[in-house]
Amino acid sequence: MAFSNKNPSIPEENWTLIVKPKTNWFDLHLSDVWRYRDLVAMFVKRDFISAYKQTILGPLWFLIQPLCATYLFLFVFSDIAHISTGNVPAVLFYLSSLTVWNYFATCFNKTSGTFTSNSTLFGKVYFPRLVSPVSTIISTLVTFFIQFLLFISFLFYYILFKGNQFHFNLYLLLIPYLIILMGALGLGSGIIISSLTTKYRDLANLVAFGVQLLMYLTTVVYPLSSITGKKRMIVLLNPMTSIIESFRYAFFPLGRFRWDLLGYSTAFTVLILFTGILLFNRTEKSFMDTV
Amino acid sequence: MSETVIKIENLSKQYRLGMVGTGTLSHDLKRWWYIVRGKEDPYLKVGEVNKRDTKGKSEYVWALKDINFEVKKGEVLGIIGKNGAGKSTLLKILSRITAPTTGEFKVRGRIASLLEVGTGFHPELTGRENIFLNGAILGMTKAEIKNKFDEIVAFSGVERYIDTPVKRYSSGMYVRLAFAVAAHLEPEILIIDEVLSVGDADFQKKCLGKMKDVAGEGRTVLFVSHNMTAVKSLCPNSIMLKNGEIIKRGPSAEVIDTYLNDEMQIDMEKEWHPGDAPGNDKVRLLKASIYSTDIKAKGKLTTESEIELSFTFQNFIKNGNINISIHFCALDDFIIFSSGSNFISTSSELLTFKCRIPGNLLNSIVYKLDVLYVNDSKVEFSFSHCLQFEIHETERNGAWFGKWAGVIRPQLSWEESD
């Protein structure tokens, strides 16, 4: 909503808040989100606590899901379809891809329903609406770290007991950057969908299966090196491809590191995030009337 | 004069009725095309006054139309009006939940709104966790909540359950905890919607006391309520909204009088032409009315005023032995009591029956009235819900503003000793 600290037309009046029907597109008031950082923290805590309350296994569920998916992938793609995972053990290959992909997919899925699923809360009290998707990104990060630890323990198991050799390299330092990039990409695309679906819900139907289809256009179940030609172009256009490739490259000797592709993903993410925030701020003012 | 903290200028809000569907898209495209060409939104010119009970021609209605007012620092302003008058829309705009269609408002100072207690409470979290969550949602920082935590818990009176998930709470405990958090907000401007209608009498008293404290501390409060007694006692001044417009602004007592008179028009008097009057070939009801005999009440029916009922019938029965009965019903059609007139032996065509109900008998609720026309102990004609009227609360002293329990409220004589 329109928020500015000064009103140029009546400088002598010192209003703290001026609300108008229309505002400048670039009036993003991101500082507001920062002022509500305690709320972000509370939302993260709420998401984490409420997810596994009244379950016996508790946070262990965070591990069961990727393990099951990994073994299903092993069965379908490795045993039946015989898709090569290069010189990397298939379990590690799938587990690493899934850990990364799950983070992006969860961020995207959850934030794409920001307006519709929070409408009762948003209808009763004002706070910068961006607080909600931002806290989702952070609480999903907790899940990511737990799954990441699972991956790391499998990695050490293979090194210690199976004698596999991996070339750990300096690109490991890029991992935090990759995580931020994924979070931003998931947030950006999620809030774009969320903003576009307050009035017309059509797009929301696309998201759930769209994300699933997108997984097969990303190098989750196969290495980039295994595809060639036009198909390779399509897969490369997907900004998630280079993120997953870079992540795996930090652990395994697979292909080669491509700064140009990572640069492309970064530019793409910045564009998506910026567009997302613009649309989101535009929508948050009046979505209650149409949601 | 103290400084203005809220200034509302030409504020309007338009809503589109009906469903969002494929048809909406064409309007959206047209609107977009006008805006692209730099023209004014074509749908802002249409739109009707928001009257729920009449069928309008336009799909667009103005829930609020050209609202202008200012609120001074430290003022406690009541906002009253019927359901659908635009109160909630106004609160939603001031709370920044939705944006106005045209016009603007300016605020000086931190603003917090309380449209509901317990917003964002999560059933799985404990009372303690929910205090922090709810506080943060209402705009408090973690440090602020920590400082007030003990006070909040003490106010709520649920110390014992503070580490139990709130889904295990009774609804009363839930509301107490929720209100306790809200009551410890410290904004310069507070917007409150009908939150006092929760909890038991004891807790209501506590809440009202707290609200009075808030008002006394020089903070600005906008208070929306249907509880006229509470508005009158808390707010020196009020605004009355009707169909999206401000009808009256002034001292609460005057505004409330206008409001009550405006409300009362329904079914306190009914009159028919002989041709289409209800009834049969024996009798027709020409007129029924209820009014207060107390001149000071200015036509308002209050719990204290004496009330008169009057029925005029067109009688076709010759040499009849006629009387009428009335049934006083509550809104759920339960008959509270009935009363019959004396018999009258007559053949005349026009009969009028009048009945007086003493003051201090009825409670402040809505009553329905049935009337029965009897000849020689045989009911010739009965008319259910002939009249419907509300008895209003008179000004009361004391801190309790809740409703009196019961369908009647006779004044009894008491004796006290110690």
DSSP state of A78: I
Is A125 close to B95, i.e. CB distance below 8 A?
yes
Within-domain flag for A20: no
Is A19 close to B93, i.e. CB distance below 8 A?
yes
Give me Rg for the CA atoms of chain B: 27
B137 interfacial to chain A (CB closer than 8 Å): yes
User: Out of A13-17, A159-163, A225-229, B102-106, which region has the weakest mean confidence (pLDDT)?
Assistant: A13-17
Asked whether B159 and B54 are in contact (CB, 8 A), the reply is: no
Which helix (H) or strand (E) segment is B367 a member of? strand B366-375
| Domain span including residue A264 | 37-289
| CA gap B15, A196 in Å, rounded | 20
DSSP code string of A217-241: TTTTSS-GGG--HHHHHHHHHSHHH
Could you read off the pLDDT tens digit of each residue along chain B, which spans 418 residues? 578 889 998 888 888 776 656 666 777 777 777 777 776 666 666 666 666 555 555 677 888 888 999 998 888 899 998 877 888 889 889 988 888 888 888 888 888 888 877 788 898 899 999 999 999 998 888 999 999 999 999 988 888 999 999 989 988 888 888 888 888 888 888 888 876 556 667 777 777 777 778 777 878 889 888 777 778 888 899 999 988 889 889 998 888 878 876 764 456 788 888 878 888 888 999 999 998 887 766 677 888 888 999 999 999 998 889 999 999 988 777 889 999 999 999 888 899 999 999 988 998 888 889 999 999 888 999 988 888 888 888 766 555 566 678 889 898 999 999 8
Asked whether B100 and A21 are in contact (CB, 8 A), the reply is: yes
DSSP code string of B325-381: EEEEE-TT--EEEEEEPPPEEE--SEEEEEEEE-SSSB-SSEEEEEEEEEETTEEEE
A197: which 2 tokens? 């679906």
Among candidates A201, A264, A191, A286, which has minimal Cα distance to B96? A286
Res A178 pLDDT > 90: yes
Q: Which residues pair with B310 in a beta bridge?
A: B289, B354
Res A11 pLDDT > 60: no
Chain B CA closest to residue A14 = B108
Vertex A127 angle, CA A122 and A133, to 5°? 75
Distances (CA, A) of B188 to B73, B75, B144: 9, 11, 15
| CA gap B182, B176 in Å, rounded | 10
Within-domain flag for A19: no
Per-residue confidence (pLDDT) for residue A6, from 0 to 100: 41
Q: Strand pairing of B335-340 and B350-357?
A: unpaired
A41 interfacial to chain B (CB closer than 8 Å): yes
B298: which 2 tokens? 């200015």
Per-residue confidence (pLDDT) for residue A1, from 0 to 100: 39
| CA gap B246, A237 in Å, rounded | 58
Among candidates B257, B238, B230, which has minimal Cα distance to B402? B230
The residues, any chain, with a CB within 8 Å of residue A177's CB and separated by 6 or more, are: none
Within-domain flag for A187: yes
| CA gap A128, A281 in Å, rounded | 9
A34 interfacial to chain B (CB closer than 8 Å): no
Within-domain flag for A74: yes
Buried b (16+ CB within 10 A) or exposed e, B42-69: ebeeebbebeeeeeeeebbbbbbbebeb
Within-domain flag for A10: no
The one-letter amino acid at A185: L
Partners of residue B124 in chain A, C-beta under 8 Å: 49-50, 53-54
Residue recorded with tokens 């007694």: B229
- What does the pLDDT look like over B236-258, one tens digit per residue? 999 999 888 898 899 988 888 78
Per-residue confidence (pLDDT) for residue A9, from 0 to 100: 43
Asked whether B280 and B301 are in contact (CB, 8 A), the reply is: no
| CA gap B298, B10 in Å, rounded | 34
Per-residue confidence (pLDDT) for residue A163, from 0 to 100: 76
Chain A CA closest to residue B193 = A124
The one-letter amino acid at A124: K
Per-residue confidence (pLDDT) for residue B22, from 0 to 100: 60
Within-domain flag for A14: no
Residue recorded with tokens 């206008």: B258
Res A2 pLDDT > 50: no
Tell which phi-psi region holds residue A82, choosing left (phi > 0), alpha (psi between -120 and 50) or beta: left
Total number of domains constituting chain A: 1
Asked whether A31 and A20 are in contact (CB, 8 A), the reply is: no
Is pLDDT larger for residue A7 or for residue A193? A193
Residue B398 CA to its chain's centroid (Å): 21
Q: Which domains does chain B have, with CATH numbers?
A: 4-110+187-262 (3.40.50.300), 269-390 (2.70.50.60)
- Listed by number, the residues of chain A in 183-242 with a beta carbon closer than 8 Å to a beta carbon of chain B are 199-200
Residue A211 CA to its chain's centroid (Å): 11
Within-domain flag for A27: no
Per-residue confidence (pLDDT) for residue B114, from 0 to 100: 81
Per-residue confidence (pLDDT) for residue A5, from 0 to 100: 42
Closest chain A C-alpha to B14 CA, distance in angstroms: 10
Total-model pTM: 0.73
Q: Which residues pair with B284 in a beta bridge?
A: B279, B314
